Amino acid sequence: METWFAPAERLSNDEWSQQTRLLTENALVKILLASVGGYLVILNSQRQAVSANVEFLRMLGIPSLAAFPGQRFGELLRCQNSDLMPGGCGTSPGCANCGALLATLESISTSSSVTSECRICRFEHGVHRTLDYRLKVSPLPVGNEMFTALIFWDISQDKRRESMEQVFLHDVRNLLGGLSGLGELLTLKSGDETAGLMVRLSRLLNRELDAQNLLRRAENGDFLVDLKPILVRDLLADLESIFAEHPCATGNMLCPLVVGPEVVHSDPGVLTRILVNMLKNAFEASTAGQTVILSLEPEEGGLFVVHNEGVIPADVAVHVFEKSFSTTGEAGRGWGTYSLRLWAEGFLKAKVWFTSDPGRGTSFYLKLPSVQSPSLPQSDNGSSEPQV
């Protein structure tokens, strides 16, 4: 039978029925079908579905696979490519890029487990729908025959949310760029303080968008750390600039103290974001007129300390680093301390902790790991200059 990609051959209905009975009578297969979290379909060497768990059958709206004997994965899901060729699922030109098919063929040929993602365009009730799945395909020996277990989870909403977030961030950045450019133009022409404020607030909001994007990438595990030598004086100057115009610092003072190294080695963007979150928490916990102190202690690797005069109650302190926990109780809050530990421990291999005592106030600590100092990059004039 003609095919553009995967083999089109199938078992006869009698052979298919023999395989389904073999799996139905196998005790281990019964346990597997009942215990797997997600959708599970078992395929034979011809990629025909011979068994499935209740969740998969319920999704299809059928009592058993006997309603569609010998059909393949894409045919059961009504993939738009599954009926383009007489050979069905896997044989049309579009099948060459199907994540589920490629993972299944790789698992069969290598006798190993394969994880992947796939996108299937379904035609259902007269409407085309696009669904995204995360899947794991593994060999499954039963008796003297070899089958393939395909477990998959619907991640369509996650994919849509991720796409919408990216579009939103892109559009907002474009708007901020326009506002900032207009503000700078008005400032040059008239010296209007309001225009200058618009520029500063646009930059501040842009930084917050960077932080949200960084957090999203960190949680998804698709962020790569870029370690560089960083001049501490420039880092502190950047932080002072941020909080000179930050609403949370209004009425308070930031006091930077440096007794440690002049250069630290870290990812500039991640380190700045961690310190910004530490300082924001300190300012938000302070009352008007109080001072927040940022210091760098003389320890190997570098120890940053952010101190404020407030005290964290003991019943709150045990939850400080928990995701979405907030002392204010407001929805959408509680990501600051969670994210700084996620970035610090997960990406910089640093340590984060805090102390809080009546009379001494609260201090958050960021201890960077000790690293061998790399050679500093050369500037145009041949001198070594740390990057920020």
One of 3.30.565.10, 3.40.50.720, 3.40.1190.20, 4.10.490.10 is the CATH number of 225-388, namely 3.30.565.10
pLDDT above 50 (res 78): yes
- The residue with tokens 């506002």 is 179
Q: Which residue has the higher pLDDT, 126 or 150?
A: 150
Q: Say how far apart CA 123 and CA 305 lie, in whole Å.
A: 58
pLDDT of residue 256: 84
Q: Say how far apart CA 44 and CA 27 lie, in whole Å.
A: 18
Q: Which residue has the higher pLDDT, 211 or 357?
A: 357
pLDDT above 80 (res 265): yes
Under 8 Å between Cβ of 306 and 257? no
Q: Which residue has the higher pLDDT, 89 or 250?
A: 89
Q: Say how far apart CA 339 and CA 215 lie, in whole Å.
A: 7
Under 8 Å between Cβ of 65 and 50? yes
pLDDT of residue 379: 37
Average pLDDT on 7-15 reads 95
Q: In what order do the strands lie in the sheet with 253-258?
A: 253-258, 291-297, 303-308, 361-367, 351-357
Whole-number Cα distances in Å, 320 to 291, 310, 338, 362: 22, 14, 8, 12
Domain 13-154: assigned CATH number: 3.30.450.20
pLDDT above 90 (res 258): no
Whole-number Cα distances in Å, 29 to 24, 35, 137, 240, 363: 7, 10, 15, 63, 56
pLDDT above 70 (res 253): yes
Tell me the chain's radius of gyration from C-alpha atoms. 29
Average pLDDT on 278-284 reads 91
pLDDT band at 241 (very low <50, low <70, confident <90, very high): confident
Q: Which residue has the higher pLDDT, 90 or 219?
A: 90
- Measured from the Cβ of residue 21, the count of other Cβ atoms closer than 10 Å reads 11
Task: Report the share of the chain in percent with pLDDT over 70.
Answer: 77
pLDDT of residue 378: 39
Q: Mean pLDDT across the chain, nearest whole number?
A: 83
pLDDT band at 173 (very low <50, low <70, confident <90, very high): low
Average pLDDT on 264-288 reads 90
* Residue 146, H or E segment: strand 145-154
Q: Which residue has the higher pLDDT, 29 or 159?
A: 29
Q: Say how far apart CA 192 and CA 177 lie, in whole Å.
A: 19
pLDDT above 90 (res 179): no
Q: Which of 44, 10, 51, 17 is nearest to 139 (CA)?
A: 44
